[in-house]
Structure 1
């Protein structure tokens, strides 16, 4: 009698709410998460309008694929893809290209054996790859810059009016460069300038920096920090500036390490609106090493 009364009361309550028992016990994520849904959530949460012309596209896989796990990375190298597959992460979100050109064009390399090997590996392991470059930079604040500043511990040194400009307690160029090298664990940083130069104002532009805007960046600071640049353009300009008597310097980190922490932060950001599957940052290996310090 008591059991019947409790069941009836429960049924009445559910009916009054317009719910069934099946709806109440349903798990929050009953339907499998798809690649398309992840991309759509990224578009919704990145905070800027999605561009018509962009490299941010699904490079491999389909929108209908079920996502088992998400890996973020700076560059979808074969080694990164192997690690992602081994961890069961079948959606790779990469900042840089998969197929060796910014636009991921495959026409020039369709007959290349390495391209075919990489493509076949991706297909065999059911990986989907999403190129996430333009809109992660376009986010405000820039997603890559946010991650790099956090990794370096530069938050309190940032200029609120100029996001690329930082002011530090005065130190030598050598000591400042060593600090960056240590924090980012760089093997092959290169520096142009007098090691004893006193530096205080720093401009940082992550990734590739060409002659323009490299010149106006340098004009605002003692030292310009970049990922990479043409040696016969901006490097030569800095050399000539120093020879002319200007107290300037250039620190070249390497493209990959100059943006890597931005994709580490991307994994944290994705977790804010994706809870159905595990999300993990997989670092790309720095490609270079020094003869006096060979890679073990």
Structure 2
């Protein structure tokens, strides 16, 4: 699925000073399969940026959150969140480079000024430093990649590529199916134990609006108005926004449902996309995908 032009909640920063080292301008992609030396963190980062049509993105949040560009890579872990558990797994795997999609230090900009006296932050920072682990956030660049690496990962995992509507975040199934069946398919293919929805489980759904991650209520609601789906499947919501809009739409008489997949479940397939990219361009580097698990549980 190609980019639709809809603004994402976490695509570009406001231009504030970011934590970590700035990503350098993209350099030409090197074919590391014909080189003997171990690539550095910076060389892998630059190789990925070199494949993004826009090149280097000003004011990006995709900076190093720990470690150095000059570190020689012993192994790479791709993941949604570089949690302490993921860091420990990287240590066990003897991997010293983590490519994470989302923040490492609990806010979009990874601003750590307010965390200097926080025990959790200090523990995590010390753990990364002790084991010489570099952490790079790959958010803006993977979404700017063509195709969008996260969307492609989700599409591949669902097996929906043949149903994609060109240049739209929409999939049209060959035949309508009940919302209950769609939910069961999403849970099975994305590995989701439980999810939330608004709608009638017997509603027939054919046109699906798929918005992984956190687009924000305004963008989600505008996309509903633009594409007129039977169901919107999104990563996460603010409960007072899209859920209430869909509830009112149904009260008005619209056949519209909402399925909330969860942020991690809806975007973790992008980390699998990164594994495939690494194996293609850096085949001599050990690369592992480590799922961070879900932070929230259902009682």
What do the CA deviations read for 1:128-181 (whole angstroms, capped 9, x no partner)?
00010001001121100000000011111111231x100012011111111101
How far apart in 2 are the matches of 1:210 and 1:72? 25
Whether contact under 8 Å (2:81, 2:100) holds in the other structure is yes
1:239 lines up with 2:244 in the alignment: no
Whether contact under 8 Å (1:157, 1:167) holds in the other structure is yes
What do the CA deviations read for 1:187-218 (whole angstroms, capped 9, x no partner)?
23111111111111000011013222212322
* Larger Rg, first or second structure (1 or 2): 1
1:187 lines up with 2:193 in the alignment: yes
Aligned residue for 1:15? none
Higher helix share: 1
Higher strand share: 1
Whether contact under 8 Å (1:33, 1:276) holds in the other structure is no
Aligned residue for 1:9? none
C-alpha deviation, 1:28, in angstroms: 4.6
Q: Cα 1:28–1:269, aligned 2, differ >3 Å: closer, same or farther?
A: closer
What do the CA deviations read for 1:88-134 (whole angstroms, capped 9, x no partner)?
11100000011011111101111100000111111111100001000
C-alpha deviation, 1:65, in angstroms: 1.0
How far apart in 2 are the matches of 1:171 and 1:31? 53
Matched length: 264
Aligned residue for 2:283? 275
1:140 lines up with 2:146 in the alignment: yes
Whether contact under 8 Å (2:98, 2:133) holds in the other structure is yes
Aligned residue for 1:79? 85
Q: Which moved more, 1:245-254 or 1:275-284?
A: 275-284
Whether contact under 8 Å (1:188, 1:288) holds in the other structure is no
C-alpha deviation, 1:35, in angstroms: 1.1
1:58 lines up with 2:61 in the alignment: no
Choose which of 45, 70, 73 in structure 2 pairs with 1:67.
73
How far apart in 2 are the matches of 1:184 and 1:202? 16
How far apart in 2 are the matches of 1:34 and 1:279? 14
What do the CA deviations read for 1:237-272 (whole angstroms, capped 9, x no partner)?
111111111110000000011000111111101222
Whether contact under 8 Å (2:165, 2:172) holds in the other structure is yes
User: Any stretches of 5+ residues in structure 1 without a counterpart?
Assistant: 1-26, 292-296
Aligned residue for 2:156? 150
C-alpha deviation, 1:32, in angstroms: 3.1
User: Any stretches of 5+ residues in structure 2 without a counterpart?
Assistant: 1-32
Whether contact under 8 Å (2:77, 2:90) holds in the other structure is yes
Whether contact under 8 Å (1:188, 1:254) holds in the other structure is no
Aligned residue for 2:259? 251
Choose which of 220, 226, 232 in structure 2 pairs with 1:224.
232
Compute the TM-score of the two structures, normalised by the length of structure 1.
Answer: 0.86
SS in 1 for 2:101: strand
Q: How much is the aligned-residue C-alpha RMSD, in angstroms? A: 1.4
Compute the TM-score of the two structures, normalised by the length of structure 2.
Answer: 0.85
Choose which of 104, 107, 113 in structure 1 pairs with 2:113.
107
